[in-house]
Amino acid sequence: MKKIIDAHIHLNQYKESTIKKIQDEKSIEGVISVSMDQPSCIRNFQLANCYSFVHAAFGFHPEQPLPKEKELADLIIWIKKHQQHMTAIGEVGLPHYVRKKDPTAFPLEPYIEVLEQFILLAKEFSKPICLHSIYEEAPIVLGLLEKHNYMHAHFHWFKGDEQTIDHLIVNGCFVSITPDLLYEKEIQKLAAKFPLEQLMVETDGPWPFEGPFSQKKTVPYMMHDTVHQIANIKKIQVETVYDCLLSNTKKFFSIL
């Protein structure tokens, strides 16, 4: 079976036994394990040191209360100290779901300020940035990337309007497709429109999926179904899709 890389997973949230099973799956060449906060950064750093297939991304997930000033400063110092062991900055971005529940409790401006620090950090170390940015927040994030002239950007599990999709394509940004491609029309439209040369695949595991994956533990092997569906949607030979996705991911994350 052809090989694939999971471009976005929270491997630190898996049990060690499951991680070893993923390691033993010969079709999974690697994973990009993104972080939520400093403890998960440390865990992903440890996993990357233990397992050659794990590539760590360091950051602070936006769908949570912002860190205190000292906490953020300590995290950035830690990232700078460990940047040689970092494949990417991530997961970072702007909050969407928590703001839908309570916008007053999560004002956007402070999150924008934090995101700018991570964009500058990615630029300083010439690392890709893995972004949580969907719907109405995505144009704001694109504006920040343009402001700082840094487009080495991966919009994971992206969802947004046609204009924003066009903007992403023109700017050379990448998006990754999740297993919900098999049952979500919105994601099917995105996969149809986005150039194959700017696509990757991911699971965002351990996030659970529906449809044919209902009640199943999310693991990278599920991406094989995603790849076959991309081939069906784009009417391209599946072997070509496998080769292109693997090449895209390796080049984007500088994986040798």
Range of the domain at 209: 4-253
Residue 91 in marked binding region: yes
Local confidence band at 54 (pLDDT 50, 70, 90 cut-offs): very high
Give the three-state DSSP class for 29.
strand
Pairing mode of beta strands 199-201, 54-58: unpaired
Residue 10 in marked binding region: yes
pTM of the model: 0.97
Residue 211: C-alpha distances to residues 156, 157, 182, 184, 207 (Å)? 20, 17, 8, 9, 14
CATH number at residue 33: 3.20.20.140
Residue 225 in marked binding region: no
Residue 132 in marked binding region: yes
Gap between the Cα atoms of 118 and 112, Å rounded: 10
pLDDT tens digits for 184-241? Answer: 999 999 999 999 999 999 999 999 999 999 999 999 999 999 999 999 999 999 999 9
Residue 124 in marked binding region: no
Residue 25 in marked binding region: no
Say how many domains are in the chain: 1
